[in-house]
Amino acid sequence: MLIELAILSGSATYWLMSRQKHVQTSGKRKQKSAVSSTKKLLKDVKSALLGDERQKQQSLIRGDENADLQKMDRLLNYNWLIAAGTLGAVLLSPLNLVWAVLARVGILYLSFPLFLFAWKNTQAGYVINVFTVDSILVVGMLLTGQLTFAVSMSVLASLKYKLIVHTEDNLKKQLINVFVGHPVWLLKEGVEIQVDFESVQAGDIVIVNAGEIIPVDGVIQSGLASIVQHLLTGESQPAEKGPGEQVFAATLLLSGRIAIDVQTAGNETVAAQIGEVLNKTQHYKDSLMLRGQKIANQLAPVTFGIGGFTWATLGATPALSVLWAGFGLNMIALGPLTVLSYLQILSRHGVLIKDGRVLETLRKVDTIVFDKTGTLTLEQPTVGQIHSLGDYDDETVLRYAAVAEYRQPHPIAKAILAKAEAAELKVPEPDEAGYEVGYGIKVNIDEHTIRVGSARFMQREDIVLPNSIAEIQARAQEYSFSLIYVSVDQELAGILEMQPSIRPEAKQVVEILKQRGIGLYIISGDHEQPTRNMAESLGIDHYFAETLPENKADLVKQLSDEGKFVCFIGDGINDAIALKSAQVSISLKGASTAATDTAQIIFMDGTLNQIKSLFELADEFESTMHTNLLTSIVPGVIGIGGVYFLRFGIAASMTTYYIGSLIGLGNSLWPLIKHQEIEQDGGQVLAMD
């Protein structure tokens, strides 16, 4: 059995893509506003089925990697000619035995993909599966002379095979495609030359202009640009970048012109690595077969048994009508399509799902464990208390620290400059010739030498640290604060406390999760006091302090052994073992390490903002699957009941089956329609309200 509208959608969208290319070439056709809404819907359906959302933005050129798929396409398209000839033979079969034989041979040939799928499912342990039922149905119609129905079944089987092949191939590539054959402009001895993408190597200088896709990972050597990183990070706003800042392949240069010092190209780029992960992750591919395949194959013996009983009691035609009723069998297509719809929504907005089965398991989560550093806190700290010494006041100490850290890119410098800006301090530019970068920075300004850095830096510079600061140092150690020392000439002027910055969204996330009845824990390598303070400030009841990285997995396992269903949220790399130990794992590390990240789910923008909608979409997914099951079973019950009580024939059973299929497919693709308005608004679908 198969889903009529799924097939129609697959073929219609395939036709739309072909027509779109023709329109772009000829330039003679115009869109009509009256059908714009319908076209948008078809585009969304196409994106879900074929996963081309990323391809539209990247405009990439595919190479030899699709040779096998194109060969399969040619074979299946050739089958249309065979089908036309077979249909003609069916119509002529009453006139001559030769036509009858040719018709049956053609039907068997067209049904070969169906028999192949039946065999593969049998090898997988499902002796009687949905494709077995379909195969028996074709053979049964041949034996009973129902050739018109048989050829229709065979044609649709070919279409079904094509849809599945395209879906699997394109879904694996829906997030990222590798740049193959893409022209690149290189700067060679002051001259820009165009070369093939394959020839680009690390160390080359690539020129990218506004409106072009950045083809490599690298560092901006010169120029300023506004870059759309939505593809990799999910950020809706363009990022302003300049010299010294990193850029990634597959992101769009919105405005400006930059020269990029190439670090990695081709299969070594972050974008390509993410795509490779998806292509090689067996779990991700298996997610397509999820519950839909299991449910359909589990119900196939029921349909087969009822069909056999009907054959024995009512005859061959009623038995074939029962098989056409397809008791729950269209879940074979509804399940993967539903998974695909939700994965597509998530991927568009910066949530990378490495294992599609987590859409199910998320609903079981009753415990979430947060790694403290980098998960509940930001990379950039906050300037806390300022301890001024001698004749200096807090404002002067902060001003001198800001002068020294002027234009420095590291997080501590940004924190100090942000504090100075909040205090509305005027920060003059220092004498750059006076910089000495080591354990700290030394600058000259107003005929004074300013040093800012660690205690070790001060001691190296022969700055005396008075005994009076011992209490400050002890408090900093207890609360895991970093201390930044500021000296003027040879005198210590003050100390800045650098405190962890709690993520602005963390408290709201905690409240949302507690409303769902989820138990929350913090795991940290920090001391007891700062860990407890953070737990109390966020309203988290449980925490583990002074935990070594290698022991985090043991704590996760301990919670699992207590009967809890654990989700671990960490940084993706340092917490690799803990992430692997949890039933569900989420990483905030972002795009730059997605290829090596062990988490099942990656928030590409590096924030917790998507948690609310992630869980809501998991609930929605479960509801959609439940409705799909009803649309699959109820028409089957009606069809089988109709055979016994209303004398349904094959045509009536087919009609009942396809009505349920239409409803089920609409339900599977409804998420794309429902989220379409939010996407058009340009908002972050998965961000918290």
- Nearest alpha carbon to residue 489 among 455, 454, 469, 463: 463
Q: Which amino acid is at 76?
A: L
Answer whether residue 407 is part of any domain: yes
Longest dimension (CA), the chain: 113
**Residues 636, 628: Cα–Cα separation, whole Å:** 13
Q: How much is the pTM? A: 0.68
pLDDT at 22: 41
- 540: its two tokens: 């988290």
Answer whether residue 332 is part of any domain: no
pLDDT at 435: 52
CB 54 within 8 A of CB 170: no
- CA 463 to chain centroid, in Å, comes to 52
Same domain, 399 and 413: yes
| pLDDT at 8 > cutoff 70 | no
Domain boundary among 499, 528, 557: 499
Same domain, 373 and 434: no
For every residue of 202-234, DSSP letters joined together read TT-EEEEETTPBP-SEEEEEE--EEEE-HHHH-
Answer whether residue 158 is part of any domain: no
CB 608 within 8 A of CB 355: no
Domain boundary among 444, 473, 499: 499
**Residues 176, 306: Cα–Cα separation, whole Å:** 46
Geometric angle at alpha carbon 263, from 206 and 380, rounded to 5°: 110
pLDDT at 506: 95
- CA 167 to chain centroid, in Å, comes to 16
Query: Taking the CA atoms of the chain, what radius of gyration do you get in angstroms?
Result: 32
**Residues 392, 387: Cα–Cα separation, whole Å:** 10
Same domain, 514 and 492: no
**Residues 443, 449: Cα–Cα separation, whole Å:** 6
pLDDT at 72: 63
Answer whether residue 605 is part of any domain: yes
Answer whether residue 338 is part of any domain: no
β-pairing, 601-603 vs 448-453, is: unpaired
pLDDT at 171: 46
How confident is residue 269, by pLDDT bands cut at 50, 70 and 90? low
For every residue of 536-584, DSSP letters joined together read HHHT--EEE-S--HHHHHHHHHHHHHTT--EEEEE-SSTTHHHHHHSSE
pLDDT at 346: 84
684 backbone φψ class: left, alpha, beta (φ>0; ψ -120 to 50): beta
For every residue of 320-372, DSSP letters joined together read HHHHHH-TTTTHHHHHHHHHHHHHHHHHHTTEEES-TTHHHHGGG--EEEEEI
| N-to-C CA span, the chain | 42
With H, G, I as helix, E, B as strand and everything else as coil, classify residue 251. Answer: coil
Geometric angle at alpha carbon 30, from 29 and 32, rounded to 5°: 140
Mean pLDDT of 59-73: 49
Answer whether residue 399 is part of any domain: yes
Same domain, 360 and 459: no
**Residues 5, 15: Cα–Cα separation, whole Å:** 15
pLDDT at 594: 52
Geometric angle at alpha carbon 294, from 293 and 300, rounded to 5°: 90
Same domain, 271 and 195: yes
Same domain, 227 and 368: no
CB 341 within 8 A of CB 335: no
Answer whether residue 305 is part of any domain: no
Domain boundary among 482, 499, 516: 499
The domain that holds 591 is classified in CATH as: 3.40.50.1000
Same domain, 370 and 390: no
Mean pLDDT of 264-274: 65
Same domain, 522 and 590: yes
For the chain, what is the domain count? 3
Same domain, 466 and 605: no
Geometric angle at alpha carbon 86, from 85 and 89, rounded to 5°: 90
| pLDDT at 470 > cutoff 90 | yes
Sequence-distant (6+) residues with CB within 8 A of 613 are 685, 686, 687, 688
Answer whether residue 596 is part of any domain: yes
Q: Contacts from 160-165 at CB under 8 Å and sequence distance 24+? A: 160/2, 160/7, 160/113, 160/114, 160/333, 161/76, 161/113, 161/114, 161/116, 161/117, 162/10, 162/72, 162/73, 162/76, 163/6, 163/7, 163/10, 163/49, 163/333, 165/69, 165/72
pLDDT tens digit sequence for 565-599: 999 998 755 577 788 889 999 988 664 555 446 78
| pLDDT at 398 > cutoff 50 | yes
The domain that holds 484 is classified in CATH as: 3.40.1110.10
Mean pLDDT of 651-666: 86
452 backbone φψ class: left, alpha, beta (φ>0; ψ -120 to 50): beta
The one-character DSSP state at 430 is -
The domain that holds 247 is classified in CATH as: 2.70.150.10
CB 316 within 8 A of CB 650: no
How confident is residue 81, by pLDDT bands cut at 50, 70 and 90? confident
| pLDDT at 430 > cutoff 70 | yes
For every residue of 628-671, DSSP letters joined together read HHHHHHHHHHHHHHHHHHS---HHHHHHHHHHHHHHHHHHHHHH
Residue 200's H or E segment, with its range, is none
Same domain, 519 and 370: yes
Highest-scoring range by mean pLDDT, 71-75, 279-283, 341-345, 393-397: 393-397
- Nearest alpha carbon to residue 489 among 570, 390, 585, 415: 390
Mean pLDDT of the chain: 77
**Count of all residues that appear for the chain in the document:** 689
241 half-sphere exposure, CB direction, 13 A CA radius: 26
Mean pLDDT of 230-241: 59
**Residues 179, 269: Cα–Cα separation, whole Å:** 10
CB 587 within 8 A of CB 597: yes
CA distances from 69 to 11, 21, 66, 77 (A): 16, 19, 5, 12
| pLDDT at 660 > cutoff 60 | yes
pLDDT tens digit sequence for 152-161: 776 665 665 5
β-pairing, 519-523 vs 542-544, is: parallel
CB 622 within 8 A of CB 363: yes
Q: Which domain holds residue 587?
A: 351-378+503-609
**Residues 78, 95: Cα–Cα separation, whole Å:** 27
For every residue of 472-525, DSSP letters joined together read HHHHHHHHT-EEEEEEETTEEEEEEEEEPPBPTTHHHHHHHHHHTT-EEEEE-S
**Residues 274, 269: Cα–Cα separation, whole Å:** 9
How confident is residue 362, by pLDDT bands cut at 50, 70 and 90? very high
Same domain, 374 and 410: no
Same domain, 526 and 546: yes
